[in-house]
Structure formats: structure tokens, C-alpha cells
Structure 1
């Protein structure tokens, strides 16, 4: 399982939605509302000198019809994901540093308002 799947489960446990219904990893249908977690195209890269240590960028898109609901969910997810020292089974999140505040880039052609959240993650994968 990937760190994205673990983070999706964490968001579900914190009341942000339901995996497969409103929380998605790597792909989300054009007409779905909810949260999409995805990594940059280069993925999470292993540090060359430290075994089992990875880092990379996590991107999260929030898509909602209601601007107010989307903004509230974006702020909630932002607060939950940022920080340090969280553990998800064999993944220890050392740091989740925001690259920016939640940013709305307007209403898309389907009538949804979308927000982008971006974080720099560093984590250790254990056994």
C-alpha cells in the first residue's frame, strides 16, 4: 500500500469523506465531488544515503459545487495533513510541510469549484 492510500484512510477516519465515494487516490471522475490525492510525476524518491527514507510532493485537489463547502473542506484537509510525527501502519510521516495555502483556481467547465493543496512530504517506510 502507498502512503497516498494511508493518507486517504486517515482523511476518511477524520470525517472528510469516504474512500471510493468522495476520497480518491490518483484518479477521480470528472463529475465527482470530493478529494483527490496524487503525487508528482516523479513520485516519492528515496534518499540516496538513508535507507527507507523518501520525500516528494503530495498534491490534493478538492472539488465541490458549493464554494463555502469546498473552502471549509480545503481548510480542514490542510490542517489534518500538515505537521510531523504522524504514523500510519508502517509509514512514519516525518514532515508534511505546506508549499502554499489552499488555493482556489475557480469554477471548471462542469460547474465545480476546485482548490489545490500542495505539501512536501518526508517519511520512512518500515516493516
Structure 2
């Protein structure tokens, strides 16, 4: 799955700047306030009977200093990524929605917290 259009959407919504606070598939450890979108380790399945039609999932990780700040960031990004019948650049989303509530876990350096949310989506490309 190409996550760049979703990263662009987050930047357009004022939720960060790509390469500084919005990342795809890797996030620098020294960045204390950031979000990362990760493709599924299993990849996006291809259905040859429905060319260009995909059903997949991805992970959102929001990092901040403290639970309240992390939850606020995670909630804002989750709201921006919850889509129904929406065109985002070259992708048309039938839906994009969280599958889970955010799961907080500590980052070992700097007393930071990361909150992970799994999304599922169906899109046409």
C-alpha cells in the first residue's frame, strides 16, 4: 500500500510536516513528537478478479511526551484518517477506519509514549 497520499492528507490537515513529524515505515528515535504510518508486514493482497481494488490494513503510531499528549495526537490523526467514500490523490477510499482503540506503550528513551492504532481500508487505485 502506498501510504504517501495519507501522509499528504495529514500534512494538509496541519497534523505535522513530512520528514519532520510525519513518517512512513520508519521514525527517527530522536523525534519526540511524531506520527508514523506503517504498511502491513504481510503486504497488501492482490485480487486478480478485481484489478485495482484492494482491502488491507496499516498501523498508525503516534509518539509524544506523556499519555495525554500522545492520546490527543493519536485521536487527531485517527479522525483525519477515518474516511468514507473519499478521494485522496490517486486513491479512492471506500472506507478507511480504525480497527482498534489506541494501545499505549512506553518508549525506552526519554520517557516518551507511543500509541498504536490499527486501521483497515478498502481502496481503488
Normalising by the residue count of structure 2, what TM-score does the alignment of the two structures yield?
0.91
| Cα deviation code 1:59-116 (max 9, x no counterpart) | 01001113322111111111111231121121101111321112212x2211210100
Q: Which residue of 1 aligns with 2:108?
A: 109
Unaligned 5+ residue runs, structure 2? none
User: Aligned partners of 2:43 and 2:85: how far apart in 1?
Assistant: 21
Distance 2:67 2:14 in 1: 19
* 1:91 aligns to 2:91 (yes or no): yes
Aligned to 1:11: 10
Q: Report the aligned-residue RMSD.
A: 1.3
Instruction: State the distance in 2 between where 1:85 and 1:3 align.
Output: 18
Contact 1:59 1:116 in 2 (8 A): yes
Secondary structure of 2:7's aligned partner: helix
The answer on whether the counterparts of 1:78 and 1:102 sit within 8 Å (CA) in structure 2 is no
> How far is 1:124 from its partner?
0.4
Instruction: Give the TM-score normalised by the residue count of structure 1.
Output: 0.89
Shift of 1:120: 0.9
Matched, 1:47 2:44: no
- Residue in structure 2 matched with residue 121 of structure 1 by the alignment: 121
Who is 1:67 aligned against? 67
